[in-house]
Amino acid sequence: MSIDIVIVNYRSAADVERCLECLGPWHRGLVWLVDNSEQTAEAEALARLAAGRPWVRLTIAPRNLGFGAACNLAYAASHAPFVLLLNPDALIEPAEVDRLAGALALDPTLGAVSPTTYWNVERSFVLPPPTVQGPVATTLPTLLARSPALAFWRARRLVMTERRRLAAPSTRNVRSLAGAVLLLNRRAVDVAGGLFDPRFFMFFEDADLSRRLRRSGYRLALVGGASAVHTYRHKASKEAAMERSCHQYFEKNHPAFYRWTDHLARVGVPTARAGAKHWLERPGGGSPASAPEFNATAGGAVLAFSPSPWLWPALLRPPGVALRGFDGAEWDLLEPGGYAALIAAGEAGQDTRWVYFEKPARPSID
């Protein structure tokens, strides 16, 4: 079965190189690499990577097309029955792609599948499947803000439920999949109206596709035994693009709710600091500036954390990984900003509490 891969680059040629090295010689199809960087140096770096890999087809976009439109460009050029969307900062080995493709080939009712996706190469945190975007998920944080105790209980329950599911790695249906590592059945995508709606420049295009696939009668699944790494970074600079796409998504898919909420103005999400039970500060004052400082202040192991105020979706410790605080590599992966965390104490981590912490920006070097 032919499997093509689509990678969209935006000023991250070094990530693309690591991604291609992990894939190795791709004999299952072609790798379609689209560059949105609008930088000559970036285009030249990608050209050097492609020159030694005859299975790579490089396209330099005339402008930054956005993630969805760039994927559409490569998807239209490909004719493979299976297409893997792969972020430049994601790593997956050929055997794992084969496991995903095997699941699609065996079950024609599957429209798309993803692996268990870890946050870091050490695989000490895992990314859960994305939350289904809709009126319930959007309204719930506002309602839960009225009862923080209920909100924290629900979030802890979701974390523990996901950990139990990870402990028994079987293929399971989900309602939404992320575009970072996503294997698609071309037939299903075409039935659902095509790949991405080009109106979404970045973010929510995968939520829209997941919804269209399910409405067309296809299932989405996480394939047990298949795994990948996506070094996801929560960058504050992307929040404006995320907000625009959120409005586009609800205007398209839930127009009545969008109007009723005055264009989502009635469902504002509270900040994490407003909801957290404990604000972490060093004994001398100020936010923890390193992993050792955080661990000493938190007084327990990090079971899960998230930029979301109610810790969902959260990055969580998978079963089999020792419960502990952040190590230096994990701390370095965190972008500056505010986070909520579930701290576990006791021999088995049965005692939990919520904290909010701020990772300060690195001091600038003049």
Q: Return mean pLDDT, the chain.
A: 89
Same domain for 207 and 328: no
The size of the chain, in residues, is 366
Judge if 226 and 104 occupy the same domain.
yes
> Is residue 58 included in any domain, yes or no?
yes
Write down the pLDDT at residue 148: 74
How do beta strands 181-185 and 90-91 pair?
unpaired
- What is the signed CA dihedral for 251, 255, 256, 259, rounded to 10 degrees? 30
Would 162 be classed as within a structural domain?
A: no
Kindly state whether residues 187 and 60 are assigned to the same domain.
yes
CATH at 185: 3.90.550.10
> Residue by residue, what is the 3-state secondary structure of 99-156?
HHHHHHHHCCCEEEEEEEEECCCCCCCEECCCCCCCHHHHHHHHHHCCCHHHHHHHHH
Question: Residue 286 falls within a domain, yes or no?
Answer: yes
Judgement on whether residues 221 and 109 belong to the same structural domain of the protein: yes
- The answer to whether position 238 is within a domain reads no
Region 327-355 average pLDDT: 85
Q: Is residue 237 part of a domain?
A: no
Pair 226, 321 in one domain: no
Q: Does 220 share its domain with 282?
A: no
Q: What is the pLDDT of residues 255-288, one digit of tens each?
A: 999 999 888 888 864 444 444 456 666 666 678 8
pLDDT at 132 over 70: yes
Same domain, 197 and 71: yes
Checking if the pLDDT of 35 tops 60, the result is: yes
Which residues form the domain of 344? 272-359
- Number of independent structural domains in the chain: 2
Specify the pLDDT at position 268. Answer: 62
So what's the pLDDT on residue 99? 97
Question: What is the structure's pLDDT at 233?
Answer: 74
Inform me whether the pLDDT recorded for 326 exceeds 60.
yes
* In a shared domain, residues 200 and 305: no
Determine which of 242-256, 282-296, 316-330 has the lowest per-residue pLDDT on average.
282-296
Span 8-32, average pLDDT: 97
Q: Are residues 100 and 208 in the same domain?
A: yes
Share of the chain above pLDDT 70, in %: 91
Reported as a pLDDT band with limits 50, 70 and 90, residue 254 is very high
| 217 occurs within a structural domain | yes
Q: Residue 136: what residue type?
A: V
| Same domain assignment for residues 83 and 226 | yes
pLDDT at position 45 is: 97
Phi-psi region of 320 (alpha: psi -120 to 50; beta: other; left: phi over 0): left
Question: Same domain for 221 and 88?
Answer: yes
Residue 254 belongs to some domain of the structure: no
Task: Read off the pLDDT band of 337 (50, 70, 90).
Answer: confident
Give me the mean pLDDT over the 143-169 stretch: 83
